[in-house]
Structure 1
């Protein structure tokens, strides 16, 4: 029997800010996890590679507004900080 991964517990150490901000990061992190899990069969962030997160940011958010991509980028940076990875992602706003 496998346990369900608890994203809230995973991010608890790096989540700061208001209640609404923390909830937004959790909601977005769960969506990122679900998308990567569906596409790459990688259930937890511990087994993600940079290419998985890059795929999400570039492919799954392609049609979204610049603001939405920015907020997801902030969540991805939190995930990278929690994983203690030196990943650097930049916002690619379309003007």
Structure 2
């Protein structure tokens, strides 16, 4: 019997900011994890490939507001930093911050 993956422990070393920001990143990371696990049967971020994250960005965030897409992209960058992956998502660079700045 295996223990469920703990996203909070996984991200503990890279989470910074206010409590609300940390909670948002955790909530979004868990949503990303569940969606990728359902679609690709990859239960933990250690098994993810870049294509899994791109799938999430392209299919699960379609129709979401620009600010939601931006905040999910920040969470994905945090996950990539924790995984020590050099993932870059150039197509998503045009996503603007909620205040309109690039």
TM range (shorter): over 0.9
**Matched position secondary structure for 2:43:** coil
Alignment partner of 1:31 is 2:31: yes
CA positional deviation for 1:60: 0.4
Kindly tell me the number of residue pairs found equivalent between the two proteins.
94
Structure 1 runs not aligned, ≥5 long: none
Structure 2 runs not aligned, ≥5 long: 97-102
CA positional deviation for 1:93: 3.5
CA positional deviation for 1:3: 1.1
Measure, in 2, the Cα distance between the counterparts of 1:2 and 1:64.
34
CA positional deviation for 1:92: 4.2
Measure, in 1, the Cα distance between the counterparts of 2:52 and 2:3.
22
